[in-house]
Amino acid sequence: MNATPSPLAVTMGEPAGIGGDIALAAWAVRQEQNLPAFFVIDDAERLSGLSRHLGIGVPVAAIDDPARAPATFPRALPVLHRPLPAPVGFGRPDTRNAGAVMAAIEEAVALTTAGRAAAVVTNPIHKKVLYDGGFAFPGHTEYLAALAGVSRVVMMLASDALRVVPVTIHMALRDAARTLDTASIVATGTITAEALKRRFGIPSPRLAIAGLNPHAGEGGAMGTEDIDIVAPAVDALRSAGIDAVGPLPADTMFHAAARTRYDVALCMYHDQALIPIKTLDFDGGVNVTLGLPFIRTSPDHGTAFDLAGSGRARPDSLIAALRMARRMADAHV
């Protein structure tokens, strides 16, 4: 067995955004933050120029093999050099670079699947630019699922304070209420419970299932969805041997004492999940994709074009994503 663990593969994300800024900034604090070894799939010359522009003095070393990353990491940021076809302007995405962005994701997945990287850590992408460049998927998560050949994946937002999973994700609230069904809740809860066992080392995960309506429907007085849809899903999860409780009133699920009673909160729609975690830990939240045959984490923020090249982009969420990816890789069973 190799005594040196495989490094983490970090994708370039949208080059005109803050992916390069935060990758450089994370490496700069690698010692004080005790960061695991990682390499970036990006244009090494671009990152060297960005380091000079930011004035942070981060040395960049082009590598030709991820296996060189652990030995390189203490002295320089290892970069699997993949030249970009077009120059990068801060905050000005260029469709000509869309193919390189997609290729970096594909390569990170291939390297991780082959065991040459421990996990995929994705920097934020800009969907409109990728769409214009021929990207045929709604977003990162769907692309990763297609690359992995799986039909259903689950988005989890996680921090030291809270883990949340939205059952319905990027859709209007009226559509979320209309499309929510028992089968989706059961499938999401099953994938989540299995991932917490395999990837997080939690032998018997405790799932708290939020109700859809205020006060979980108040016994049907504020809608019957919690009786007709959510409660049967909780029963089905319990019948499958999963420790699930609910439907619970969402307004009392997230205070400190309540959070000690579960390992993850399954929420019925996007904001029901993301508002509490972003309130508790805006900079430390990590996006984790569950249900993939490899580990994928990502900073829980976007491309932040207005901050690109300014030196004001904070690497906190990328640092948290790197740490979580390493913990998941080490805990994997």
Return the half-sphere exposure (C-beta side, CA atoms, 13 A cut-off) of residue 47.
31
Among 3.40.718.10, 3.40.720.10, 3.30.572.10, 1.10.260.40, name the CATH number for the domain at 161-278: 3.40.718.10
pLDDT in tens, the chain (333 residues): 446 789 999 999 999 999 999 999 999 999 999 999 999 999 999 999 999 999 999 999 999 999 999 999 999 999 999 999 999 999 999 999 999 999 999 999 999 999 999 999 999 999 888 888 888 887 788 889 999 999 899 999 999 899 999 999 888 899 999 999 999 999 999 999 999 999 999 999 999 999 999 998 788 888 899 999 999 999 999 999 999 999 999 999 999 999 999 999 999 999 999 999 999 988 888 999 999 999 999 998 889 999 999 999 999 999 999 999 999 999 864
Fold of 8-152+292-331: Isopropylmalate Dehydrogenase (3.40.718)
Residue type, position 280, single letter: L
Which residue, 165, 155, 169, is CA-closest to 264? 165
Looking at the chain, which residues constitute the CATH 3.40.718.10 domain(s)?
A: 8-152+292-331, 161-278
The structure's pTM equals: 0.90
Token pair recorded at residue 272: 């029901």
Give kind and range of the element (H or E) at residue 131. Answer: helix 127-132
pLDDT at 138: 77
Q: What is the strand order of the sheet 264-267 is part of?
A: 60-63, 77-81, 38-42, 8-11, 120-121, 296-299, 286-290, 154-158, 163-166, 264-267, 206-210, 243-248
Q: Measure the CA–CA gap between 329 and 333, rounded to whole angstroms.
A: 9
Phi-psi region of 241 (alpha: psi -120 to 50; beta: other; left: phi over 0): left
Which residue, 75, 12, 3, is CA-closest to 44? 12
